[in-house]
Amino acid sequence: MFVCVSLNPAVDKCLALAVLQLGKVNRAAKAEGAPGGKAAHVAMVLKTLGADPLWLGFAGGSAGAALVAGLRELQIKVEAVAIAGETRTNLEIIEDDARVTEVLEPGPAIAEEELQRFQATFQRILAKSAEPATVVFSGSLPPGLPSDYYATLIRLAHAQRGRVLLDASGEALKLGLAAGPDFVKPNQHEAESLSGSTIHDTACAEEVLQRVMQLGAKAAAISLGAAGIVWRSERDEQTLIARVPKQVSRSCVGSGDATVAGFAYAAAHALSPVEALRLASACGVANCLAVAPGRARAADIARMKDLVRVDTLVAEREDVRHAK
Ligand SMILES: Nc1ncnc2c1ncn2[C@@H]1O[C@H](COP(=O)(O)OP(=O)(O)OP(=O)(O)O)[C@@H](O)[C@H]1O
Ligand SMILES: [Mg+2]
């Protein structure tokens, strides 16, 4: 069983513009709404991979209702914890030259009573799962929640034999690591902030990966955009690197979420470290080809699996700096 937890979910609104003009009135050629937040993207990709994920998160107001309806339309099981605040809307502005600007709302504050209801629901779901659950925590914490809240949830999940994947940034990631998640996947920027080191090349990437594991992760991957992924599994003594076919066509927003879905699927199905990395990388690349974040197609994932190159990392001065 997969549980994709969204503490600060969103409706994604995608606006297509010829050119975004700052300080001016801009008229969008196209506006499309879709269920969003990182956990929704993870659930969508897990569904495409053939799993039957459950999305668990807060939902409030008309945006919350649209989010829940959109997930159900995609045949994703939903456990929505009702809140008084309005679920946020995140903007993704795509210009004709494929430049992407994201504007993320902070999200509504969560009341103490709402948080308690969420926690009780989370524990009930884990308790009634016949087999150990694979729990994916993705994204930011809503305003007002303690920064170590992921650590609290990770301990609760572990107490019920769950396997935990964490995709967060800043303090939420740092403090979450202290609870020993089974896997984390920072992107380059998140890994650099966490470690205080800059990743210029594969040697730096390997050092930072080890640092992330020293901070508490049992296994970790750092995604490097078009430069691929470095990863070290719990089972493997060596670091692997995936090199991916670079995509320039459209927005790659959500590729990290798709990657996390691939790693979650691989963990639950006990794929080998090489196969896990191949699948996760293919999910990330396929997301770049999709109509919207999380909507990677099964055929693209299958095709990309054959095009991804996985090697043992030889830490050298190979440039891995990337542009999205
Ligand atoms: N331009 C690209 N071309 C090919 N593959 C890409 C590209 N961008 C991303 N990917 C694939 O997706 C993976 C995740 O991308 P990235 O490191 O940008 O994640 P991220 O910043 O966490 O994304 P998000 O948080 O928006 O989901 C990469 O490791 C790579 O496999
Ligand atoms: Mg990410």
pLDDT in tens for each of the 324 residues of the chain? 999 999 999 999 999 999 999 999 999 999 989 999 999 999 999 999 999 999 999 999 999 999 999 999 999 999 999 999 999 999 999 999 989 899 999 899 999 999 999 999 999 999 999 999 999 999 999 998 999 999 999 999 999 999 999 999 999 999 999 999 999 999 999 999 999 999 999 999 999 999 999 999 999 999 999 999 999 998 777 999 999 999 986 789 899 999 999 999 999 999 999 999 999 999 999 999 998 899 999 999 999 999 999 999 986 666 665 534
200 occurs within a structural domain: yes
User: Which residue's CA is the closest to the ligand 1 atom numbered 28?
Assistant: 225
320 occurs within a structural domain: no
Instruction: Say which residue the tokens 């694979």 belong to.
Output: 134
318 occurs within a structural domain: no
C-alpha 167 – ligand 2 centre gap (Å): 7
292 occurs within a structural domain: yes
257 belongs to the catalytic site: yes
**pTM of model > 0.75:** yes
Contact 177, 191 (CB under 8 A): no
Contact 224, 216 (CB under 8 A): no
Domain that holds residue 189: 2-19+30-312
- Residue 164 pairs in a beta bridge with 135
Pocket test for ligand 1, best of 92, 250, 252, 295 (most atoms within 8 A of CB): 252
321 occurs within a structural domain: no
C-alpha 66 – ligand 2 centre gap (Å): 24
47 occurs within a structural domain: yes
Instruction: Say how far apart CA 127 and CA 140 lie, in whole Å.
Output: 25
CATH number, position 266 = 3.40.1190.20
If one counts the domains in the chain, the total is: 1
* pLDDT confidence of residue 323: 39
- Amino acid making up residue 1: M
At 289 the three-state DSSP class reads coil
25 occurs within a structural domain: no
324 occurs within a structural domain: no
Contact 285, 263 (CB under 8 A): no
Q: How would DSSP label each residue in 132-183?
A: --EEEEESPPPTTS-TTHHHHHHHHHHHTT-EEEEE--HHHHHHHHTT--SE
Cα distances (Å, whole numbers) of residue 273 to 96, 237, 279: 39, 11, 10
* pLDDT confidence of residue 98: 85
Q: What tokens appear for 78 in the block?
A: 């939903």
Contact 93, 72 (CB under 8 A): no
User: Which residue's CA is the closest to the ligand 1 atom numbered 31?
Assistant: 281
* pLDDT confidence of residue 324: 41
* pLDDT confidence of residue 228: 97
